[in-house]
């Protein structure tokens, strides 16, 4: 009798490591004790339950995804069940429509505007309740952020502020125009981990003494 090997369920979350804020996401996942890895080439997608597209410069990221031949790889693994979360520039990469530009991955039915608030000098912080994500008020960091202007019927709006949408999702994709990884809150990383079918540490077990430079240990490991 032939014994077939047991296929292990995906149990990792990857962070696309081409450009942008990678280390901060890894640090937040580490606090939740979610296994994670940097993703740079096709072989790094093995075992991924989810992929984070970090903030950075969306045009640069789109070009690098093309140069390194990762677009088809991302789309293939998405179709096989891998969830994707895009923060800021990552949200632009995932949008079906980008004002004045061609879309990159087009995996969520939203219309988004790059630099929706203006230049880098117009970056700001805020707070808001997002009931689907957490029962507490969450800190929000907007850095040269885009604005989600419209969503399709199959998109669930998680956060609307004034005349724009700041967070939304469909079954396979989560997008935030702000940067949860630049705050001490792990609420969005917990939410995404659970969306990926993973079990993060309980709230009480998460280390609370977070600082803006606490992610630097990942930078040292990578160097």
Indicate if 179 belongs to the active site.
Answer: yes
* Angle between helix 23-31 and helix 187-195 axes, rounded to 10 deg: 80
Catalytic pick from 23, 25, 28, 179? 179
Query: Cα separation of 145 and 222, whole Å?
Result: 27
Indicate if 88 belongs to the active site.
Answer: yes
Catalytic pick from 181, 189, 196, 218? 181
Residues in CB range of 198: below 8 A, 6 or more apart: 11, 13, 34, 49, 50
Q: In b/e form, how buried is each residue of 125-164, taking b as 16+ CB within 10 angstroms?
A: eeeeebeebbeeebbbbbbbbbbbeebeeebeebbeeeeb
Catalytic pick from 24, 88, 104, 169? 88
Active site residues: 88, 179, 181
């Amino acid at each position: 009798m032939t014994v077939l090997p047991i296929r292990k369920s995906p149990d990792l979350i990857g962070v696309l490591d081409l450009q942008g804020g990678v280390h901060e996401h890894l640090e937040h996942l580490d606090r939740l004790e979610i296994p994670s890895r940097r993703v740079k080439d096709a072989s790094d997608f093995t075992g991924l339950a989810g992929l984070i597209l970090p903030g950075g410069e969306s045009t640069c990221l789109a070009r690098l995804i093309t140069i390194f031949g990762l677009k088809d790889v991302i789309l293939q693994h998405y179709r096989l069940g891998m969830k994707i979360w895009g923060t800021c520039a990552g949200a632009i990469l995932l949008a079906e429509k980008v004002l004045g530009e061609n879309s990159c991955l087009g995996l969520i039915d939203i219309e988004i505007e790059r630099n929706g608030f203006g230049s880098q000098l117009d970056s700001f912080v805020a707070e808001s309740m997002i009931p689907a994500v957490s029962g507490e008020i969450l800190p929000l960091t907007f850095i040269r952020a885009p604005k989600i202007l419209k969503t399709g019927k199959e998109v669930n709006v998680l956060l609307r502020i004034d005349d724009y949408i700041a967070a939304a999702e469909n079954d396979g994709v989560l997008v935030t125009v702000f940067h949860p990884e630049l705050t001490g809150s792990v609420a969005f990383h917990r939410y995404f981990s659970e969306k990926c079918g993973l079990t993060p540490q309980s709230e009480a077990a998460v280390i609370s003494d977070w600082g803006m430079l606490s992610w630097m240990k990942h930078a040292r490991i990578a160097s």
